[in-house]
Amino acid sequence: MSFPVHRPRRLRIDSRLRGMIRDVSLSPANLIYPLFVVDQIAEPHEISAMPGQKHWPVALVHEPVAEAMRKGVIAFILFGVPSAKDAHGSQAYDADSVVCRALRHIRQHCPQAYLITDVCLCAYTDHGHCGMLKDDGSIDNDSSIDLIARMALAHAQAGADMVAPSDMMDGRIGAIRNLLDTNGLVDLPIMSYSAKYASAFYGPFREAAGSAPGKGDRSGYQMDFRFARDAMVEFELDLEEGADILMVKPGLAYLDMVKLARDNFPCPIAVYQVSGEYSMIKAAAEKGWVNERAVALESLYAMRRAGADLILTYFAPQVAEWLQEAKS
């Protein structure tokens, strides 16, 4: 049909009708709130590159959890910042690591919180890479996955509800699944950072986590954003090895990868609205160039529209509050 018989604006003019026919929704149940827990600090500290986000001591990390839960957010992912680092990232898989202690602490104060842990060595190694290094400086993939699996097991035994490996080593999902299963944790799910790109959007996070590599970069194991077909290989391998949820990281610049995962796999799909995305919105809002609330919500709805079931976002508590205000 052609104009004037067909007028798409008929469905847009009345706000009541717009609300009736929308097919993309967003709720606090879709959101996962990332938190940074730091060893050997007594008070929370602002993260300069991420306005509104803080470094939390173990003894107080339940406070942002409880506050977010009052707003309707129930899921959290913990990133640990240790007090000491070494070549093997030994604090990462210690049963008394900063993340393990945080898990036990939060569980005491917020027993209903759904706790996920990031599983990666980069914040724990003195060289800042996500795996062990050989003498020539290259990544030793196979020895790395053993340590990564031990890290996941330590978190699970400390009370994690889910583990989320973000290292991008080949075979790490299978190694984690095998070690969890042999230790009686067959029901613990794995959310895999399956399509994690070597992105410039991670800058603020690396300040927050103290995880920037000392030499080189991560392009030898994180994915090249110029190679689109690579994502299908990663998705398929992770599912075969035992992943329960597939994640795409970063978010807004990679919605095609979210859509690719959604169209090809029946499992839940997650996406990470990373630190650079968050901080750019915050910075532009502080300048008065954009409306923070409008832009943050629009970007999250775009991720849902692309097919994401779950969104990791630093905006989680704010978004939950905004959604509640919209209902009232």
Q: Are strands 245-249 and 269-273 parallel, antiparallel or unpaired?
A: parallel
Secondary structure letter of residue 223 according to DSSP: B
CATH classification for the domain delimited by 25-327, as one of 3.20.20.70, 3.40.50.300, 3.30.70.141, 3.30.70.890: 3.20.20.70
Q: Is 282 a catalytic residue?
A: no
Query: What would the pLDDT profile of 196-226 be if each residue is shown by its tens digit?
Result: 999 999 989 877 876 666 565 777 788 999 9
In single-letter form, the type of residue at position 136 comes to D
What residues pair up with 193 in beta bridges, in sequence order?
247
Nearest Cα residue to 76 out of 109, 117, 33: 33
Q: Domain map of the chain by residue range?
A: 25-327
Of the candidates 54, 249, 282, 327, the residue annotated as catalytic is 249
Q: Which residue has the tokens 């290989």?
A: 233
Confidence of residue 171 (pLDDT cuts 50, 70, 90): very high
Q: Is 249 a catalytic residue?
A: yes
Please state the pTM of the whole predicted model.
Answer: 0.94
Confidence of residue 136 (pLDDT cuts 50, 70, 90): confident
Of the candidates 54, 71, 85, 196, the residue annotated as catalytic is 196
Query: What would the pLDDT profile of 114-126 be if each residue is shown by its tens digit?
Result: 999 999 999 999 8
Q: Are 123 and 63 in contact (CB under 8 A)?
A: no
CA distance 125 to 87: 5
